[in-house]
Structure 1
Amino acid sequence: MKKENEQAAGAPRLKNQLISHPFTSGMIIGSILLIILVHIGFYKTYISHFPYFKDYTVPGRGIVHFNAIIHFHGMMMAGWFFLLLVQPVLILKGKIKLHRLAGRMSYVLAPLMLLSMYLVIHSSLDRALAAGQIAATARRMALDVPAMIFFAILYLLAIFSLHKPALHGRLMCSTAFVLISPALGRTFRVFLDASRDGSIDLSRNVIVIVVAVIAAADSWRTKRISPFVLVLGFVILNKIIWNIRDTSFWQPIAHAMAKVF
């Protein structure tokens, strides 16, 4: 009995029992799988070039140049995925003070994440506009801008729900779902020899299915509408925007947005 009381005293005191050990463990497993996926997806195009990062030529695309923006974006993404892994580990270990301290780091990391995403989009747009590639401009806006906006919304909602641990945890981990398409698409290109557009289409379909399953399971377990339903709406909208990337409806919108960027 004494040993059980000591274990209970060392366990994290959660205000909301919807943050269960299985859910926290699932966040850890999901974060590990995400980090593995990123390494697989970006190994050929980025990781394998460490530490020299020499320029190389890709047939049909020309010379790939590793600049400061790419490295900055890579570091911010790595930092965010590492944070998503560390936070549930700290919760599971009962290190609530460390969890909160690490969470405060996101106040700096999240804005830097958004800055890195903006710089990548801006750099790509400059190249497309300089080459007069109107279709490429519209595609870039459909591919990356929604993810940047959805990430910002989910993060802000997570911060505003700090007093609701269950909601906060779900919103924070859900930011990963709007970021994994590039890694998943590159993985499909490596293993399925899919085209660029085909791999993006497939990655979006897989993400929608995965989020739908998680939203349904979480809603059933908690007997209430899961926050992942909002994430499902975002990933579906993201897929719709990508599907209309070449239409006359989307292109004027994309060019208006490109002027802002």
Structure 2
Amino acid sequence: MTESINKIKKSKRIRFEKSGYYLAILVILMLLGFWPSYFSKFIDGTANFNSYFHFHAIMASLWITLLIIQPILIRKKKLAIHKLIGKFSYFILPLFFISVILLKHNTINGEITDDLGSSLWLQVKDLVIIGIMYTIAIVNRSNMQIHARAMIATGIVFIEPTLGRFIIFTVLPEPNFILGLAITVAFMYVLLISLIIIERKQTSGRWVFPLLLLLYIIFHYLIFFKISFPFWDAFANWFARLPIT
């Protein structure tokens, strides 16, 4: 009887060493989401992107690749290589952050609008959540239960922008940002709540996914209701005027 209960509990445990195979789905989502506006342009000869787009694409691809490779190395007991490659994250993540900042600044193109502050939440959300989760992962790198969950969380962040673009520009009859984002957010919440339910009996690290969900709820509230603050509007205006792109 006890053995049967243990098997049931074990079956409900998330196998983090297999997460690399699941995170590989991000590659498919990235291709689907950015195919109409980016990848297909290189095939039909209409690609006219500046270096900021390419820089961002490369950094995002490197981070996703890192997330896929690392769990596989753990599964294959290649711990030394896992630790060595993990050190590259100290350089890749800051460069990814810089790529997001430069691309957004270039997209704004110095235009100051009334909703500029609230429009920045979309990118700030991803940077803040990845930054928090990565910090948790590094601080707890000796605790596999927490470290693995936090690193997986940095990968989950990529689902929204990729799946969202796919839904908005491919699935919906007409591009609709709010509707597409709402559908994507609903999927994100179902995913996170499912992970929380699966994790509910774990004794270590189960707080990571609830924290991730809470952060998403806060930022999605700001985004959907277009909430901003005087200090944030001032920062947005200052950012738009910076001569960095």
Range into which the TM-score falls when normalised by the shorter chain? 0.7 to 0.9
Q: Relative contact order: is structure 1 or structure 2 higher (C-alpha 8 Å, sep ≥ 6)?
A: 2
Q: 1:241 aligns with which of 208, 222, 225?
A: 222
- Residue 37 of structure 2 aligns to a residue in which SS? coil
Matched-pair contact (CA < 8 Å) for 1:73–1:117: yes
Unmatched segments (≥5 aa) in structure 1: 1-16, 56-64
Distance 1:142 1:53 in 2: 33
> 1:173–1:165: structure 2 CA closer, same or farther, 3 Å change rule?
same
The equivalent residue for 1:155 is: 134
The equivalent residue for 1:23 is: 16
How many pairs are equivalent? 226
Matched-pair contact (CA < 8 Å) for 2:119–2:223: no
Residues 181-260 of structure 1: matches in 2 within 5 Å?
181-189=160-168, 190-193=170-173, 194-222=175-203, 225-245=206-226, 247=227, 250=228, 252-260=230-238
> 1:53–1:91: structure 2 CA closer, same or farther, 3 Å change rule?
farther
Runs of 4+ residues deviating >6 angstroms: none
Aligned-pair distance for 1:22?
2.5
Per-residue CA deviation, residues 91-126 of structure 1 (Å, 9 max, x unaligned), is: 011100010111001011011011111112222333
Residues 48-67 of structure 1: matches in 2 within 5 Å?
48-50=40-42, 54=46, 65-67=48-50
Distance 2:14 2:210 in 1: 21
The equivalent residue for 1:47 is: 39
Matched-pair contact (CA < 8 Å) for 1:54–1:66: no
Q: 2:25 aligns with which of 30, 33, 36?
A: 33
Distance 2:107 2:179 in 1: 20
The letter of the residue matching 1:149 is V
> 1:125–1:255: structure 2 CA closer, same or farther, 3 Å change rule?
farther
Matched-pair contact (CA < 8 Å) for 2:192–2:209: yes
Identity between Structure 1 and Structure 2 (%): 27
TM-score scaled to structure 1, two decimals?
0.79
TM-score scaled to structure 2, two decimals?
0.83
Unmatched segments (≥5 aa) in structure 2: 1-9, 240-245
> 1:153–1:93: structure 2 CA closer, same or farther, 3 Å change rule?
same
The equivalent residue for 1:178 is: 157
- Residue 235 of structure 1 aligns to a residue in which SS? helix
Distance 1:107 1:51 in 2: 34
Aligned-pair distance for 1:221?
4.1
Matched-pair contact (CA < 8 Å) for 2:118–2:222: no
Query: How well do the aligned residues superpose, as a CA RMSD in angstroms?
Result: 2.3
